[in-house]
């Protein structure tokens, strides 16, 4: 075995041995012959006879040499390399052809690889943990809309009933908390996740330093001030030193001791929210974590740890096998609580629905990602479109190869007639295509990282945020681009190679090949390729048109408020001296300070900033006079705002009064609601003066405000209530300031003013609402921008294809055209004849492309906004653009045809 391997290596080495081994071989044969001749002479033959007999005995020097050559190295590879050398020579000889083919393919391949790398990072890649396929998340299977969150007591019940008590873990979402390293220095925001002690066991990674949290580290609320930090946090903020273990992080009211460092690359299970610090779930109150929870019959201000009414944990398991045993055990442990809670539901149908709920295990191989959910559709659409572009580039190259092939028909005829098999010649031609494809692939790979970086920036939409996950050149990307390049080469090379070698040898040798008259109007491969290009281009151009139209509709959409000229300053009072009792005073001080500044029109405060993704939904709202259906969620989104909020952000009050300084903690609870709430829950009856509230209707509606898209431009307006912030203060809020001039320019001054007015207050983020609006449209901007680019490229390639085909046809038919002109055909007639020929192809392409557009646009209808799939005017515009650009590229060859000089034409050949 090892000997065979050695032989193989020697033979591989001999691929590059070159002339010296050839001399060696010739010398050995020569010396052999000489020795035989010597012996023959010694045996008494004459010199001539001795030589003759020696040659007869030897039996053909060349054939022996050939046998040796076959053994010397690897002949299959040797010819492959020879073909490659020949291909490179051909490429150098036709630089124009090479440039166009390589460039168009490189753009196609580069774009495909770039988009694939993002698809891979966002959609396909698994978590960097051992055997990620075995991770499962616990979900509800229920007819009731319900977030898959659990309270800590529920988790404990499920864990006790689970076959492997260490195999079930709970975790919170990733929250932004304020932390101080080693008790000194500036407070900073860290991304923290609260987990139970089983978390790291379930995930299955090993610490690079110290230890991870264990089940014993999560027993009693407030008793376990321990922290595990990520590798990046350890490197960047703890100086990557081994004595990081034992250092402290002050978060909230507790001082956490670092016990371990997670391995590099593992940043939790949320793709776009890398975790800095993992804390025990028992430390929720001390860490002041209060995000992403659902509460009922509970006190959110007390520790959540033992409260059954606060659901804030997601559960994951590592399932060794999937035989349903795990899910059955979970359901058995979950059932008693469901039965217990069902008793409190009076409505029988509602109870029935409630009792049907089940737990199920869902794959969690790739972790969670909001980005994935949001961009899955757009990325797949882009992947499809970029594949189309690559197809167009392939068709284009195939067309160029076909044209070149006719120029090489003599060469092929000679090769075939001196004994090369057709397979051998096809192999040679395919090698040439492969070289072309590989060179283009290398070019594509060179532009891909740059393009994918741009793509991710556009996807995230904020240049200041570091890319939270790696997209880059790795072995997967390399393998993908090699596969794409090879496939592409086969795609554009196979048909031309087949066609080129299919010729009557005698015909081509006689010189007929260069003056063919046999393909006048016959449907041939080149024409088919142009028709396909036109059809595919229409698909891309029309798709781009639809996306651009959607984006324009969104940009011009009336949001219901005026996003321009508003600065949002988010602050976080948790862990500072600003206790909930002092918040109303803080609000008044901040508003007064901001309004005192020159250039400020008005200022107000709110719990949730506009278009920020912050939202607070209240379920189970009781509304005066509204009877809910069984299973219906009476859901109201709420925001808590300060006085003059509506005029500050530009929402129009259409009835009743605004919230103002009368509405304080001690006054009756009031609210302003939006039109949708009135429409949905009051159905034309007057709403002002009516009451609603959680459990009991205790809040009076004093005003109605016009509907506004406060969450996102694309999101339909939901029932909303605005409550006075002073009646229910929150520690994290936002100062919204309307300014007279440029909001960006005012941002820094406002931030400084807030910092002066409230020393010690953590200012989290300062943005403008216009900026938030633009961020919210990043997905649409990305798709519209990229598809436009792809559309333009496709258009260019299709026109190039048409132009190339027609110019070539005109050159081939110069003699025929010359005869026509000589016989008296007016130039205009010739021009029209050639032009018509090209436009027939365009019309055919459009006719095939149109049904494709209508079919394909239906697939992407959910991504469109304010424009229907296959919108006639958009599609018509796309067809018109394509037709006019194609007309131009068909016109120039036709004009050249009309100017053929009959004398010159007839003298050719």
Least distance CB 29 / other proteins (angstroms)? 8
CA distances in angstroms from 419 to 76, 79, 212, 425, 490, listed in the order given? 18, 16, 72, 10, 25
Least distance CB 56 / other proteins (angstroms)? 12
7 scored as a contact of other proteins (CB under 8 A) = yes
Residue 786: how many CB atoms within 10 A of its CB?
24
The CA radius of gyration of the chain, in Å to the nearest whole number, is 38
- Taking the least distance from each CB to other proteins, the nearer of 72 and 640 is 72
Least distance CB 60 / other proteins (angstroms)? 8
26 scored as a contact of other proteins (CB under 8 A) = no
Which residue in the set 24, 141, 660, 715 belongs to the binding site for other proteins (CB under 8 A)?
A: 24
355 scored as a contact of other proteins (CB under 8 A) = no
4 scored as a contact of other proteins (CB under 8 A) = yes
Least distance CB 85 / other proteins (angstroms)? 25
Segment 457 to 496, residues that bind other proteins, using CB under 8 A: none
Least distance CB 21 / other proteins (angstroms)? 10
Number of residues that bind other proteins (CB under 8 A): 26
22 scored as a contact of other proteins (CB under 8 A) = no
143 scored as a contact of other proteins (CB under 8 A) = no
- Taking the least distance from each CB to other proteins, the nearer of 39 and 695 is 39
- Taking the least distance from each CB to other proteins, the nearer of 26 and 322 is 26
Least distance CB 81 / other proteins (angstroms)? 19
216: its two tokens: 């014993």
Least distance CB 38 / other proteins (angstroms)? 6
Of 581, 760, 783, 597, nearest in space to 664 by CA: 581
Of 486, 498, 737, 477, nearest in space to 595 by CA: 737
27 scored as a contact of other proteins (CB under 8 A) = yes
10 scored as a contact of other proteins (CB under 8 A) = yes
Distance CA 899, CA 229 (A): 77
Least distance CB 517 / other proteins (angstroms)? 51
- Taking the least distance from each CB to other proteins, the nearer of 39 and 223 is 39
201: its two tokens: 């066991």
Distance CA 719, CA 381 (A): 32
Q: What is the DSSP letter of 132?
A: G
Which residue in the set 35, 82, 99, 240 belongs to the binding site for other proteins (CB under 8 A)?
A: 35
Segment 613 to 672, residues that bind other proteins, using CB under 8 A: none
- Going by their DSSP bridges, the two strands 691-694 and 621-623 should be labelled as antiparallel
| Residue 436 near residue 102, CB atoms below 8 Å | yes
Q: Is 254 helix (H, G, I), strand (E, B) or coil?
A: strand
Which residue in the set 23, 31, 370, 472 belongs to the binding site for other proteins (CB under 8 A)?
A: 31
- Taking the least distance from each CB to other proteins, the nearer of 24 and 683 is 24
- Locate tokens 């100086």: which residue? 239
Least distance CB 53 / other proteins (angstroms)? 14
Q: Which span (22-30, 419-427, 511-519, 845-853) binds other proteins, by CB under 8 A?
A: 22-30
Which residue in the set 17, 32, 173, 599 belongs to the binding site for other proteins (CB under 8 A)?
A: 32
- Taking the least distance from each CB to other proteins, the nearer of 60 and 511 is 60
- Taking the least distance from each CB to other proteins, the nearer of 26 and 908 is 26
Distance CA 466, CA 475 (A): 23
Least distance CB 388 / other proteins (angstroms)? 50
Burial class (CB in 10 A: 0-12, 13-18, 19+), 685: exposed
Residues 6+ apart with CB under 8 A from 389: 107, 108, 111, 112, 540, 790, 793, 794, 797
51 scored as a contact of other proteins (CB under 8 A) = no
- Locate tokens 């009135």: which residue? 678
Q: Which span (32-40, 134-142, 505-513, 757-765) binds other proteins, by CB under 8 A?
A: 32-40
Segment 415 to 454, residues that bind other proteins, using CB under 8 A: none
Distance CA 46, CA 49 (A): 5
Q: Which span (25-33, 280-288, 320-328, 849-857) binds other proteins, by CB under 8 A?
A: 25-33
Q: Which span (31-39, 396-404, 519-527, 812-820) binds other proteins, by CB under 8 A?
A: 31-39
Residues 6+ apart with CB under 8 A from 472: 117, 449, 452
Which residue in the set 11, 173, 582, 679 belongs to the binding site for other proteins (CB under 8 A)?
A: 11
Residues 6+ apart with CB under 8 A from 865: 550, 551, 553, 554, 714, 780
Q: Is 338 helix (H, G, I), strand (E, B) or coil?
A: helix
Distance CA 142, CA 158 (A): 18
383: its two tokens: 């992947």
Residues 6+ apart with CB under 8 A from 710: 560, 561, 608, 610, 611, 639, 720
Which residue in the set 15, 17, 36, 599 belongs to the binding site for other proteins (CB under 8 A)?
A: 36
Query: Apex CA 66: angle with CA 63 and CA 69, to 5°?
Result: 160
- The Cα diameter of the chain in Å comes to 136
Distance CA 106, CA 442 (A): 8
- Taking the least distance from each CB to other proteins, the nearer of 4 and 220 is 4
Looking at the chain, how many residues does it have? 909
3 scored as a contact of other proteins (CB under 8 A) = yes
- Taking the least distance from each CB to other proteins, the nearer of 59 and 95 is 59
CA distances in angstroms from 425 to 80, 415, 429, 812, listed in the order given? 12, 8, 6, 25
- Locate tokens 């959409």: which residue? 557
Which residue in the set 22, 23, 38, 446 belongs to the binding site for other proteins (CB under 8 A)?
A: 38
Start-end of H helices in 813-826: 814-822
Least distance CB 34 / other proteins (angstroms)? 6
589 scored as a contact of other proteins (CB under 8 A) = no
Q: Which span (33-41, 76-84, 790-798, 877-885) binds other proteins, by CB under 8 A?
A: 33-41
Helix, strand, coil percentages (3-state) for the chain, rounded to 5, are 55, 15, 30
Q: Which span (30-38, 544-552, 613-621, 847-855) binds other proteins, by CB under 8 A?
A: 30-38
Distance CA 185, CA 238 (A): 13
Least distance CB 16 / other proteins (angstroms)? 15
Write the binding mask 56 to 95 for other proteins: x where contact by CB under 8 A, - elsewhere.
--xxx--xx--xx-xxx-----------------------
| Residue 729 near residue 566, CB atoms below 8 Å | no
- Taking the least distance from each CB to other proteins, the nearer of 69 and 615 is 69
- Taking the least distance from each CB to other proteins, the nearer of 21 and 255 is 21
Segment 752 to 771, residues that bind other proteins, using CB under 8 A: none
Distance CA 555, CA 332 (A): 51
- Taking the least distance from each CB to other proteins, the nearer of 60 and 265 is 60
- Taking the least distance from each CB to other proteins, the nearer of 16 and 464 is 16
Which residue in the set 22, 34, 325, 558 belongs to the binding site for other proteins (CB under 8 A)?
A: 34
Positions touching other proteins (CB under 8 A) are 3-4, 6-7, 10-11, 24, 27-28, 31-32, 34-36, 38-39, 58-60, 63-64, 67-68, 70-72
């Amino acid at each position: 075995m090892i000997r065979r391997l050695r032989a193989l290596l020697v033979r591989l080495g001999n691929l590059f041995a070159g002339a010296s081994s050839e001399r060696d071989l010739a010398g050995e044969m020569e010396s052999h012959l000489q020795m035989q001749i010597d012996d023959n002479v010694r045996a008494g033959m004459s010199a001539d006879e001795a030589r003759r007999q020696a040659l007869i005995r030897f039996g053909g020097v060349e054939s022996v040499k050939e046998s040796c050559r076959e053994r010397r190295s690897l002949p299959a590879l040797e010819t492959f390399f020879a073909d490659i050398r020949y291909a490179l020579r051909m490429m150098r000889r036709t630089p124009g052809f090479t440039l166009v083919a390589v460039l168009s393919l490189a753009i196609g391949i580069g774009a495909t690889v770039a988009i694939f790398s993002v698809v891979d990072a966002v959609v396909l890649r698994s978590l960097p943990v051992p055997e990620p396929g075995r991770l499962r998340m616990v979900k509800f299977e229920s007819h009731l809309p319900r977030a898959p969150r659990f309270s800590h007591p529920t988790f404990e019940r499920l864990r006790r009933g689970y076959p492997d008590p260490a195999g079930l873990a709970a975790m919170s979402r990733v929250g932004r908390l304020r932390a101080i390293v080693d008790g000194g220095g500036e407070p900073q925001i860290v991304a923290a996740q609260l987990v139970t002690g089983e978390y790291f066991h379930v995930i299955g990674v090993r610490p690079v330093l110290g230890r991870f949290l264990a089940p014993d580290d999560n027993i009693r609320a407030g008793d376990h001030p321990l922290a595990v930090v990520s590798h990046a946090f350890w490197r960047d903020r703890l100086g990557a030193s081994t004595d990081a273990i034992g250092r402290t992080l002050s978060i909230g009211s507790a001082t956490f001791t670092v016990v371990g460092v997670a391995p590099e690359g593992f940043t939790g299970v949320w793709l776009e929210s890398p975790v800095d610090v993992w804390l025990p779930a028992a430390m929720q109150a001390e860490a002041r974590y209060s995000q992403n929870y659902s509460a009922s019959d509970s006190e959110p201000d007390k520790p959540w740890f033992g409260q059954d009414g606060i659901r804030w944990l997601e559960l994951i398991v590592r399932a060794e096998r999937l035989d349903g045993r795990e899910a059955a055990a979970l359901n058995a442990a979950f059932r008693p609580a469901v039965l217990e809670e069902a008793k409190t539901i009076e409505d029988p149908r509602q109870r029935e629905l409630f009792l049907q709920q089940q737990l199920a295990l869902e794959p969690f191989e790739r972790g969670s990602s909001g980005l994935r959910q949001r961009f899955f559709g757009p990325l797949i659409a882009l992947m499809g479109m970029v594949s189309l572009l690559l197809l167009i580039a392939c068709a284009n190259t195939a067309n160029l190869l076909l044209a070149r092939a006719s120029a090489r028909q003599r060469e092929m005829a000679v090769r075939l007639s001196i004994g090369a098999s057709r397979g051998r010649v096809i192999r040679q031609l395919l090698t040439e295509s492969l070289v072309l494809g590989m060179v283009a692939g290398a070019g594509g790979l060179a532009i891909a990282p740059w393009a994918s970086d741009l793509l991710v920036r556009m996807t995230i939409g904020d240049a200041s945020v570091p890319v939270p996950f790696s997209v880059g050149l790795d072995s997967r990307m390399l393998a993908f681009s090699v596969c794409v390049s090879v496939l592409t080469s086969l795609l554009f090379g196979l048909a031309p190679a087949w066609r080129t070698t299919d010729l009557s040898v005698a015909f081509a040798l006689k010189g007929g090949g260069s003056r063919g008259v046999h393909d006048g109007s016959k449907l041939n491969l080149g024409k088919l390729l142009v028709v396909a290009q036109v059809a595919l281009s229409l698909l891309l151009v029309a798709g781009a048109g639809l996306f651009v139209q959607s984006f324009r509709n969104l940009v011009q959409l009336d949001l219901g408020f005026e996003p321009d000229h508003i600065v949002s300053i988010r602050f976080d009072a948790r862990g500072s001296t600003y206790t909930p009792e002092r918040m109303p005073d803080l609000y008044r001080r901040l508003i007064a300070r901001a309004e005192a500044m020159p250039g400020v029109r008005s200022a107000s405060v709110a719990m949730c900033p506009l278009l920020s993704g912050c939202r607070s939904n209240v379920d189970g709202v009781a509304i005066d006079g509204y009877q809910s259906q069984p299973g219906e969620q009476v859901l109201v989104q709420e925001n808590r705002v300060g006085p003059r909020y509506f005029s500050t952000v530009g929402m129009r009050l259409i009835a009743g009064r605004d919230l103002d300084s009368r509405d304080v903690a001690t006054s009756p609870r009031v609210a302003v609601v939006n039109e949708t709430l009135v429409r949905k829950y009051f159905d034309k009856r007057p709403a002002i003066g009516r009451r609603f509230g959680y459990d009991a209707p205790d809040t009076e509606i004093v005003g109605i405000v016009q509907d506004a898209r406060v969450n996102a431009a694309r999101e339909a307006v939901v029932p909303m209530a605005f409550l006075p912030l002073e009646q229910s203060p929150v520690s994290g809020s936002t100062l919204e300031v309307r300014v007279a001039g440029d909001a960006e320019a005012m941002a820094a001054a406002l931030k400084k003013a807030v910092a002066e007015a409230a020393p010690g207050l953590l200012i989290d983020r300062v943005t403008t609402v216009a900026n938030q609006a633009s961020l919210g449209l990043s997905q649409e901007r990305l798709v519209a921008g990229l598809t436009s680019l792809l559309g333009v490229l496709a258009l260019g390639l299709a026109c190039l294809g048409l132009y190339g085909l027609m110019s070539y046809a005109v050159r081939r038919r110069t003699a025929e055209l010359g005869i026509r002109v000589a016989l008296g055909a007016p130039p205009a007639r010739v021009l029209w004849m050639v032009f018509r020929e090209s436009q027939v192809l365009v019309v055919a392409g459009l006719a095939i492309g149109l049904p494709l557009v209508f079919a394909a646009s239906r697939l992407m209808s959910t991504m469109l906004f304010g424009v229907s799939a296959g919108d006639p005017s958009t599609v018509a515009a796309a067809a018109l653009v394509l037709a006019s650009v194609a007309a131009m590229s068909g016109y120039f060859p036709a004009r050249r045809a009309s100017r053929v000089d009959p004398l010159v034409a007839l003298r050719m050949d």
